[in-house]
Structure 1
């Protein structure tokens, strides 16, 4: 059986279909992830009590490059871990452990949004908020199905009346035309309203910041929303044209959500442990930004 990594190396043009990013982006990601991996290993070596000489013990069953490829295959295709183990000639337990290790590395090397990229630097953060004030940002939410919780009280918390299933809700705020992810908030209870979720994260932006949203955000003065048809009446032709123009400007966030859902782990029912949800979906957002060749990644690799 040909391994996914061997297939990608022999047919680079198939990389995006198999792992969600181009082959050149994959190689750059491997370089960044391996650097982080080596730093983690060095930290462990400094703090451990050594019993055997360096280099001794059991050898790794899978290389760093294969581990990163395994992680990407799961995020893009979402096979069961038994199949993932067969593809890389390891056990399902080892496949699970490898995925969880490398998805954590991806979270560290791939910022999920512009705000996450600069939030640890106060000066850069304030500068970003100022720059963002020149745009009308686009906001929208998406829900993802999860396994029904066992506890009845939890079932009520996660049940979405809109989707008629148990879900987690994610909010995306993007630049005009969907050029980049400005902010993403994931893992909120399915019953949470879109406008309520937005108000929880409003503090990240300047007071003057303007947004564009759909009808779910009617009632917030910071968000431009479509005209809503009155009960037992119709909106005017002018209002219809304005709604159409607003939709054409708002479509960028829909395209961004679509790019996230290309990774099946973010679109199909989430079957991993609930506590892994935020880490996995944020890693996918980082991969989407990498796929878009965003400025932060280009600066790192130049």
Structure 2
């Protein structure tokens, strides 16, 4: 009897979350990180991709029981996707997430790990990644990008302390006095799209080294704008450095202020990524998942700011 009451309570709690989104669509962005219409598009595309993957798996199975048999999932596909997004947005524990959605802690964990790679596949993290599968499109985009001075910056995120001593030394950042991952983001001058992302490098790696290791993603003529962390890289325009034991002139300070007003767009874009708590707080998941998580978040941000448009289902009756 107690278990039945508990199950009823959890199911009602889960329904309240879904009802809240349906009844208060304007609050979807605060809860999930996307506008209501964007969430619907994402769910539609994720369901389609999941159906395609399941169909492939079914075709390879040797069946003992009829298709459609077996235990039914406790949550619908829509509920499972929302659970995954809630974790990325708020990074609660899987125990609390399970209670919130009326499933066990392990089930909540399994759902998240099932849907994360599907969302990753649906949401290219950058413009470069979006077009890289087609060589001709990639070459055209690279050429067009040379007309702009792209903005580059990086940030560190604290991770759990590695168990291996060599890994501890590799990821220990003196700047943060902690073990960290470092990620690099390159954006359009006005911040309207994420052009390229590199995620999960060791925190101590210098900004300029990280940039040079990934420079081949762009045309050799591409120019960039960055901060003083890129001092020494000819391709990156940086602010005027204060001379040792001297002060900048009034004119130099004015130039640096103008420079900062243009470069601030990359800081805004990094901040929009950090709206998702899984990017902002200490990373508690398996460190091998870090790159996958960060690139998925960047894809969600591109969807949120309108740089990425997901296909919508066409009604054959309407088109006819």
Same fold (TM > 0.5): yes
CA contact (8 A) 1:15 1:23 kept: yes
Alpha-carbon distance in 1 for matches of 2:266, 2:221? 21
95, 104, 108: which one aligns with 1:91:
104
| Counterpart residue number, 1:232 | 245
Find out whether 1:20 has 2:17 as its counterpart. no
Alpha-carbon distance in 1 for matches of 2:219, 2:250? 35
| Counterpart residue number, 1:262 | 275
String of CA shifts for 1:17-58, please: whole Å, max 9, x gaps. Answer: 111111111000000100100000001001111111011111
Alpha-carbon distance in 1 for matches of 2:181, 2:262? 26
13, 24, 33: which one aligns with 1:2:
13
Alpha-carbon distance in 2 for matches of 1:236, 1:203? 37
| Counterpart residue number, 1:60 | 73
| Counterpart residue number, 1:124 | 137
Deviation at 1:231, TM superposition (A): 1.1
| Counterpart residue number, 1:171 | 184
CA contact (8 A) 1:144 1:269 kept: yes
CA contact (8 A) 1:177 1:251 kept: no
Alpha-carbon distance in 1 for matches of 2:29, 2:301? 11
String of CA shifts for 1:244-294, please: whole Å, max 9, x gaps. Answer: 111000001000000000000001000000111111111110100000011
String of CA shifts for 1:219-249, please: whole Å, max 9, x gaps. Answer: 0010000111111111222111111111000
| Counterpart residue number, 1:147 | 160
| Counterpart residue number, 2:218 | 205
Q: Flag structure 1 segments of 5+ consecutive residues without an equivalent.
A: none
Alpha-carbon distance in 1 for matches of 2:217, 2:197? 11
140, 148, 151: which one aligns with 1:135:
148
String of CA shifts for 1:182-204, please: whole Å, max 9, x gaps. Answer: 00000000110000000011111
Find out whether 1:195 has 2:208 as its counterpart. yes
**Helix, strand or coil: the match of 2:244?**
coil
| Counterpart residue number, 1:297 | 309
Alpha-carbon distance in 2 for matches of 1:109, 1:234? 50
Deviation at 1:102, TM superposition (A): 0.8
Supply the RMSD in Å over aligned alpha carbons: 1.0
String of CA shifts for 1:140-169, please: whole Å, max 9, x gaps. Answer: 001000011122221110011111111000
**Helix, strand or coil: the match of 1:251?**
helix
Alpha-carbon distance in 2 for matches of 1:101, 1:267? 23
CA contact (8 A) 2:13 2:102 kept: no
CA contact (8 A) 1:145 1:166 kept: yes
- After TM superposition, the score normalised by the length of structure 1 is 0.97
Q: Which has the larger radius of gyration?
A: 2
CA contact (8 A) 1:132 1:209 kept: yes
Alpha-carbon distance in 2 for matches of 1:184, 1:224? 19
Alpha-carbon distance in 1 for matches of 2:218, 2:279? 26
**Helix, strand or coil: the match of 1:233?**
coil
| Counterpart residue number, 1:273 | 286
Deviation at 1:11, TM superposition (A): 1.2
Alpha-carbon distance in 2 for matches of 1:161, 1:178? 30
Q: Flag structure 2 segments of 5+ consecutive residues without an equivalent.
A: 1-11, 315-320
Alpha-carbon distance in 2 for matches of 1:198, 1:225? 14
